[in-house]
Structure 1
Amino acid sequence: MSTRKASDSNEPRIESRDQLVAPMQAGEKPKSRFRIGTEHEKLVYKTDDHRAPRYDEQGGIRDLLLSMREFGWEPVEEAGPSGKVDVIAMSGDDGTISLEPAGQLELSGAPLEALHQTCAETGRHLTQVKSVSDEFGVGFLGLGMWPDKTREELPMMPKQRYQIMRKHMPTVGNLGLDMMLRTCTIQVNLDYSSEADMAKKFRTGLALQPLATALFANSPFTEGKPNGFLSYRSHIWSDTDPHRTGMLPFVFEDGFGYERYVDYMLDVPMYFVFRDGKYLDAAGLSFRDFLKGELPILPGELPTESDWWDHLSTAFPEVRLKSFLEMRGADGGPWNRICALPALWVGLLYDDTALDAAWDLVKDWSMEEREALRNAVPAQALGAPIPGGGTLRDLAGDVLDIAHAGLVARGRLNSMGDNETGFLGPLRQIVESGKVPAEVLLDKYHGEWGGDIKRIYEESF
């Protein structure tokens, strides 16, 4: 979720439906201004005993954040639950370094023009955090989920919204706290030129999201043992909160556009309202009531445009719309796969010919078939059956070929004259080997590791 930096009591109130549609319409831009925003999370652990560091301990998460000032990052502060002002993020030219609920460290990267820049940004970030890791005795894991930690072993970061979510999650699903505390992801944020372009990209991205989940499947362990899944992170989302997750069948219906997504978001229960530097608990309340001035915690008050923007960030479907599209299906992973995810989606969605070809692969699937594929992928990954026969492994090569062609057509070259297709390399290797990252880890667990999950900490981020 995004990091809120300020509130303005004089901000315009929402008094018409046009204001609800406006953020999505404002995202429209010509293809020449399309950008790539990449977000990636990593698990932080103490190298001496592999525990997750607390926020305020010496050499803990707060100290790690503040160490980034050495590289030009500036603190973002928030009053915590006790009223104490805490550093919750760092802001800089490369975006924002922020905290997930149990101290997972996230870079929300800047909007960039080419994948070469995206990978350079990722490299700078990892170089920076690794440069201070010895000082604080910490290491980083690129996985989709903590491989050995119970919920009780994990700390909670002092961000007000997380206290609200932690209280609410168990009332709507069985695995929401696991999502908050134990998982990590990579995602990419992409642009669209019009409502029709948004709809086509949304549909194609949603239909092919199970393939991204399969290729990046990297969470096969829970509390030190194999959990029976290849992407347990993806499975967690199936039992987190049915009101704000899933495959969104309405996206594939005729006439889908901004208005229909607004209707969906109005039916997503609220989490909070931000006022005077504080998050007010609105969990389970209705934004529709808020629009009528009937929100119980703020009677007579209408929402601001920032309230609506906050609310747009509290839905977690496989693809999410704000003023850009977020591709949300991938487990966290090591450095070389961070660059591969935006390469996949940029190749498929930013060239019109590639987008048409990708949609042609999936346009005839029924909603029942799409749901069945999404449900099969967490356990089977590339082995999941696809509509019409075969498996995702059979489809993956065709999709990568389309993405490759799309990147060639973009013609974004680096100083050496290379285009962006090289960033697909890790995905090609996965398909050619027949094993997704989780299967490689399971082979090691049952083989050279001898069932000792601690050996995973020897794997480089």
Structure 2
Amino acid sequence: MSIPQSAGGPIESRDDLVRYIADGCKPREDWRIGTEHEKFVYCLKTHNPLRYEGVPGIKVLLEGMQKFGWQPVMEGENIIGLTQNGASISLEPGGQFELSGAPLCCVHETCAEVNLHQQQVRQVAAEIGAGAIGLGYAPTWPIREVYPMPKGRYEIMKRYMPKVGGYGEEMMFRTCTVQVNLDFASEADMVKKFRVALALQPVATALFANSPFREGKYNGFLSYRAHVWTDVDNDRAGMLPWVFEKGMGFERYVDYVLDVPMYFVYRDGKYIDVAGKSFRDFLDHKIPEVAHIDPQMSDWADHLTTIFPEVRLKKFLEMRGADGGTWRRICGLPALWVGILYDDVALDAAWDLVKDWTAEERQAMRDGVPRLAFKTPFRSTTVWELAQRMLDISAEGLKRRAALDSVGMTEEGFLVPLRELVNRGYTRAEELLQAYRTDWGRDLKRIFTEYNFL
């Protein structure tokens, strides 16, 4: 989750909020790719999650990363993140370690950034005795053993979450994701990309499903992370069926966000708890705790980071449906969506695929994928066949983009790990389950050694 945002001055009217998002429109030559990935970090000796303090610990991990030029982000006396050249490292509530990559021109650059991050984290982790693993859900840790990070916004969320859903703390403390952030040229372009991305998000969830374990046992799902999101806080999550309705645009999204309950207002280095109150009431000075505060554009920017649908709109679109994964597959997510959303022919083909799907069909697929992944039925076919089609569209789009690396390779190569999954017909979650039931003898300690990607 985000570090505190900075954006402009006071909010004069609703038009300012619309303009803030609309200002994200960019000509094609300025489109960029931002990739974010989270991973669980743990003690190599015990396989327990890291505390903030101590060695190994999150604090010393962040401090160690500063040797590579990262600048600290502080909250009070605690280091809670790092920044460097448009990228940032931040902490999820349970210490999940997140790289929010810089806006880059192509997937080649994105993967180089990911690989450099891996090298840096590997060096520091080795010095302190830590490991890292890419899964959508923590496979063994009871929630009482996951240590909260010293970030004020998370204290507010932890108090509020049980009031609005059954899995809020599960999401906060025991899930990891990979997401990609992509640009749009205009309002119409944003709407088309938003609709395509929402419709196909369950297919991406199936492609990246790898969270079949909870507290040391099979949890009944292939993407338990995706299941968790069905009951976190439905006021701010879900498939947003109204995005497909007439009148969708920047103003419609702003009206939605205005009525999504807030978590906090951030002032003078402190988080003020206003959980459950709307941003609309904040603008009208109707929230007693902050009635004396004049809303700023930074408040709006912060609030936009607390909206959690399957696709999120800020000054760009964020695709949010994938489990955290192995290092090799991280770059597959930006490649998948860049091929579809950054090529006009591919975008048209994807829209032709999804444009007659009903809200009920989209929701049924979203509901089925956490448990069934590729085997989820859809009309006369399955999500497995939709995944094939999605990859074909993306691959053709990447070929036409013709973004080449130093040896003349296109970005299409980053789809290879996803092609392998589709060609064999089963997900990484099923691969993990097979190992668990055979080679590992149902002992999940093996997952920390065989899938440590440092």
The bucket for the TM-score relative to the shorter chain is: over 0.9
Q: Distance in 2 between matches of 1:67 and 1:287?
A: 38
Checking the alignment, whether the CA contact within 8 Å between 1:5 and 1:76 is kept in structure 2 is no
Q: Distance in 2 between matches of 1:408 and 1:89?
A: 37
Q: Deviations over 1:166-206 (max 9, x none)?
A: 11111111100000000000000000000000000000000
Aligned pairs for 1:272-291 (under 5 A) are: 272-291=264-283
Pick one of 432, 438, 442 that aligns with 1:451.
442
Q: Distance in 1 between matches of 2:443 and 2:86?
A: 37
Q: Distance in 2 between matches of 1:369 and 1:405?
A: 27
Q: Across the two proteins, how many residue pairs are aligned to each other?
A: 452
User: What is the identity, as a one-letter code, of the residue corresponding to 1:265?
Assistant: V
Aligned pairs for 1:364-379 (under 5 A) are: 364-379=356-371
Q: Distance in 2 between matches of 1:187 and 1:23?
A: 22
User: What is the identity, as a one-letter code, of the residue corresponding to 2:337?
Assistant: W
Residue 142 (str. 1) matches residue 134 (str. 2): yes
Residue 47 (str. 1) matches residue 39 (str. 2): no
Aligned pairs for 1:227-306 (under 5 A) are: 227-306=219-298
Q: Deviations over 1:70-103 (max 9, x none)?
A: 1111111012xxxxx1000011126111111111
Specify the alignment match of 2:62 in structure 1.
65
Pick one of 108, 111, 114 that aligns with 1:119.
111
Pick one of 381, 385, 391 that aligns with 2:377.
385
Pick one of 416, 422, 428 that aligns with 2:419.
428
Q: How much has 1:348 moved relative to structure 2?
A: 0.5
Aligned pairs for 1:58-457 (under 5 A) are: 58-79=55-76, 85-93=77-85, 95-386=87-378, 388-457=379-448
Q: How much has 1:385 moved relative to structure 2?
A: 0.9
Q: Distance in 2 between matches of 1:137 and 1:414?
A: 35
Instruction: Give 4+ residue runs of structure 1 displaced > 6 Å after superposition.
Output: none
Pick one of 3, 28, 31 that aligns with 1:31.
28
User: What is the identity, as a one-letter code, of the residue corresponding to 2:106?
Assistant: A
Please give the secondary structure, in 2, of the residue aligned with 1:274: strand
Q: How much has 1:122 moved relative to structure 2?
A: 0.1
Checking the alignment, whether the CA contact within 8 Å between 2:199 and 2:354 is kept in structure 1 is yes
Q: Distance in 2 between matches of 1:154 and 1:304?
A: 35
Q: How much has 1:230 moved relative to structure 2?
A: 0.2
Q: How much has 1:5 moved relative to structure 2?
A: 6.4
User: What is the identity, as a one-letter code, of the residue corresponding to 2:73?
Assistant: V
Please give the secondary structure, in 2, of the residue aligned with 1:270: coil
Q: Please, what TM-score do these two structures have when normalized by structure 1?
A: 0.97
Percentage identity across aligned positions?
Answer: 58
Q: Distance in 2 between matches of 1:267 and 1:299?
A: 17
Distance 1:6 1:256, change over 3 A: closer
Checking the alignment, whether the CA contact within 8 Å between 1:74 and 1:90 is kept in structure 2 is yes
- Deviates further, 40-49 or 13-22: 13-22
Distance 1:5 1:248, change over 3 A: closer
User: What is the identity, as a one-letter code, of the residue corresponding to 2:398?
Assistant: L
Q: Distance in 2 between matches of 1:145 and 1:261?
A: 30
User: What is the identity, as a one-letter code, of the residue corresponding to 1:4?
Assistant: P
Checking the alignment, whether the CA contact within 8 Å between 1:6 and 1:277 is kept in structure 2 is no
User: What is the identity, as a one-letter code, of the residue corresponding to 2:424?
Assistant: S
5+ residue gaps in structure 2? none
User: What is the identity, as a one-letter code, of the residue corresponding to 2:214?
Assistant: T
Distance 1:86 1:367, change over 3 A: same
Q: Deviations over 1:205-249 (max 9, x none)?
A: 000000000000010000000000000000000010010000001
Please give the secondary structure, in 2, of the residue aligned with 1:256: coil
Residue 2 (str. 1) matches residue 5 (str. 2): no
Q: Distance in 2 between matches of 1:397 and 1:343?
A: 15
Q: Distance in 1 between matches of 2:330 and 2:385?
A: 23
Cα-Cα RMSD:
1.1
Specify the alignment match of 1:82 in structure 2.
none
Q: Distance in 1 between matches of 2:384 and 2:192?
A: 24
Please give the secondary structure, in 2, of the residue aligned with 1:43: strand
User: What is the identity, as a one-letter code, of the residue corresponding to 1:294?
Assistant: K
Checking the alignment, whether the CA contact within 8 Å between 2:34 and 2:180 is kept in structure 1 is yes
Please give the secondary structure, in 1, of the residue aligned with 2:210: coil
Q: Deviations over 1:96-145 (max 9, x none)?
A: 11111111100000000010000000000001000122211100011111
